[in-house]
Every structure is written in structure tokens, then in C-alpha cells.
């Protein structure tokens, strides 16, 4: 690396209020995510390395690249850096208990069962669902679809490879049955077994757009994502998600989220668990 490159990468580039507003609008228009003023240091911190890598002098230049025809690939990189991918296996376990104890018995006689992990990030939620369904649903047919706006996290999810710490919440019998301990260069990692990985499909999806190509689902998990949207965008996302939910199907949202406000016909069965009327 040249000394010029070293000095450039070490330079701290300030993010002005005007530049921050441009980026706020861009990410809102692209994926519907709100970036309030308190997120300005986060935006600066996560994008600073991209400015250095591209040898740009300002966030204004970076913004112009993102909105240009030749900036499509970089826009995907920026979206991946800005969107939050905080997740882990068996997160908010009450939902999985409810699925096992309440929902699966009601669908016992159904020939096929489809579950959607919306905003699935790196795949922990989708694989959690797959473990549970394989354990309690097989040999009856079931499938899990995981979607995310970020192509990078989807590629990571398809690999099914996680650092060991990510498996701390996996019950021991599931860990033993479905996860392989890494060795040699994969020491410190575990791999979701191939048979289970092949039962989970990961697809790109922007929740602010309709997705008829996904088909209909019996259960949808839309957890810990609505909190990043303002009310109009939340309503739009819920509209598109509920279009993919079969009549009589179940919707689960994060425990810190509320569906109060948007006009919709849903029956609340438990905190953060809703059911779509049959008609």
C-alpha cells in the first residue's frame, strides 16, 4: 500500500448535516428505513471505510455515486452496511413455544405448511424454524422461506456457517441433531447440517414492495423490523406482508413492536401474535 493510500484511509471525513439529510432520504426511499439524527454517528462510522476504499473526499461525492447508474453495486453495499442485522437462534423463544404448542397441532391434518421468515438477516431465525418444524412436523411436508433486502446477508445465510457463540440459545438436543462442530480451519464455528439447509430457501425481498412471487404462507414472522419504519411505511409493509398470509394464518412481530394504529383486521391471540380472519 502506498503512503498516499495510508494517509488517505487514516483521514477522518466529516459528515455534514446537509449530506446526512441526503443519505437519510436515499435510504428511506430505497428500503423505507428511518435514520433519525441520533443515527448520524452510526452512518458516518459504517460508511467511512467505503469513502476511503473509493478514495472519495466527501459524503456528497459518495451520495452522487450511489444515485448514479454506475453506482448500483455500491448502493447494495451501502444498504448492507446501514441496515441492522442483529439476530440469533431461538430469539424471543415464546414465539417458538407458541408455534409448537398452539399452531402446529391445529395444522396437523394439513398436507403442507409454509412459513416465512421476513427480514431474515443471516438466517438464524429461518434455521430455528426449520429445526422446530423438522422435529415436530416431519414426515408431513413443510418449508421455510427467508428473505432480506441485503444480498450479502442472504449469501451468508445460505452457507449456514456460524461462530459457536451464535448457538448459545439453541437447545442441546437441537444443537446435537442439526449442527456440526467445525474442525481445523473451521474451529470455533458450527455448520447447520446439509439436509436442513436444503429445506430452507433464501430469497431477496424488499418489504416495501409487493411480493406475489413468494406465494402464500401459513405463518409469517416479521420480528424486530417494524421499529425501523415510520407509520406510513409500517402500514405499507404490513399491507404487503398480510397479502402473503393465508386466511386463518398467524403473524408474529417483535415483543417491542405494536400493530396499533394501522387499520387491519387481525385478531390478537397473545402479545405480539396475531391471526388473520378466515374471511
* Other CB atoms within 10 A of residue 256 CB: 11
The pTM score is 0.84
Strand 245-253: give its sheet, edge to edge: 200-204, 141-148, 112-117, 217-222, 245-253, 273-275, 267-270
Residue 136, domain member (yes or no): yes
Domain count, the chain: 2
Same domain for 35 and 102, yes or no, is no
* Other CB atoms within 10 A of residue 64 CB: 13
Same domain for 260 and 130, yes or no, is yes
Kindly report, residue by residue over 43-92, the tens digit of the pLDDT. Answer: 998 899 899 889 999 999 999 999 999 998 899 889 888 886 678 999 99
The DSSP output letter for 224 is S
Residue 135, domain member (yes or no): yes
230 is catalytic: no
Range of the domain at 139: 94-160+200-275
Kindly report, residue by residue over 146-167, the tens digit of the pLDDT. Answer: 999 988 899 999 999 999 888 8
- Active-site residue (options: 114, 148, 218, 223): 148
Is residue 120 a contact partner of residue 155, using CB atoms and an 8 Å limit?
no
Instruction: Give the pLDDT confidence score for residue 118 in this predicted structure.
Output: 96
Q: Tell me, what CATH number does 21's domain have?
A: 1.10.155.10
46 is catalytic: yes
Strand 161-163: give its sheet, edge to edge: 161-163, 189-192, 179-181
Instruction: Give the pLDDT confidence score for residue 261 in this predicted structure.
Output: 56
Residue 146, domain member (yes or no): yes
Kindly report, residue by residue over 84-143, the tens digit of the pLDDT. Answer: 667 899 999 999 999 999 999 999 989 999 999 999 999 999 999 999 999 999 889 999
Same domain for 10 and 106, yes or no, is no
Burial-class residue 41 by CB neighbours within 10 Å (0-12, 13-18, 19+).
exposed
Amino acid at each position: 500500500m502506498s503512503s498516499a493510500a495510508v494517509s488517505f484511509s487514516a483521514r477522518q471525513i466529516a459528515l455534514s448535516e446537509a449530506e446526512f439529510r441526503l443519505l437519510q432520504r436515499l435510504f428511506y426511499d430505497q428500503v423505507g428505513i428511518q435514520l433519525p439524527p441520533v443515527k448520524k454517528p452510526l452512518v458516518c462510522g459504517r460508511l467511512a471505510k467505503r469513502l476511503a476504499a473509493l478514495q472519495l473526499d466527501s459524503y456528497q461525492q459518495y451520495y452522487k455515486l450511489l444515485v448514479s447508474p454506475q453506482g448500483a453495486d455500491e448502493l447494495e453495499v451501502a444498504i448492507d452496511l446501514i441496515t441492522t442485522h442483529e439476530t440469533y437462534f431461538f430469539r424471543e423463544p415464546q414465539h417458538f413455544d407458541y408455534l409448537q404448542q398452539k399452531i402446529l397441532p391445529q395444522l396437523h391434518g394439513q398436507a403442507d405448511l409454509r412459513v416465512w421468515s421476513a427480514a431474515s438477516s443471516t438466517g438464524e431465525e429461518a434455521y430455528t424454524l426449520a429445526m422446530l418444524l423438522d422435529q415436530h412436523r416431519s414426515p408431513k411436508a413443510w418449508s421455510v422461506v427467508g428473505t432480506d433486502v441485503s444480498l450479502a446477508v442472504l449469501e451468508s445465510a445460505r452457507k449456514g456457517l456460524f461462530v459457536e457463540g451464535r448457538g448459545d440459545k439453541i437447545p442441546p438436543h437441537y444443537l446435537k441433531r442439526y449442527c456440526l462442530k467445525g474442525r481445523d480451519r473451521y474451529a470455533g464455528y458450527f455448520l447447520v447440517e446439509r439436509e436442513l439447509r436444503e429445506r430452507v430457501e433464501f430469497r431477496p425481498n424488499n418489504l416495501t414492495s409487493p411480493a406475489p412471487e413468494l406465494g402464500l404462507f401459513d405463518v409469517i414472522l416479521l420480528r424486530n423490523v417494524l421499529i425501523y419504519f415510520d407509520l406510513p411505511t409500517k402500514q405499507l409493509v404490513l399491507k404487503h406482508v398480510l397479502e402473503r398470509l393465508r386466511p386463518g394464518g398467524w403473524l408474529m412481530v417483535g415483543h417491542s413492536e405494536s400493530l396499533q394504529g394501522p387499520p387491519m383486521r387481525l385478531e390478537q391471540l397473545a402479545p405480539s401474535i396475531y391471526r388473520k380472519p378466515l374471511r
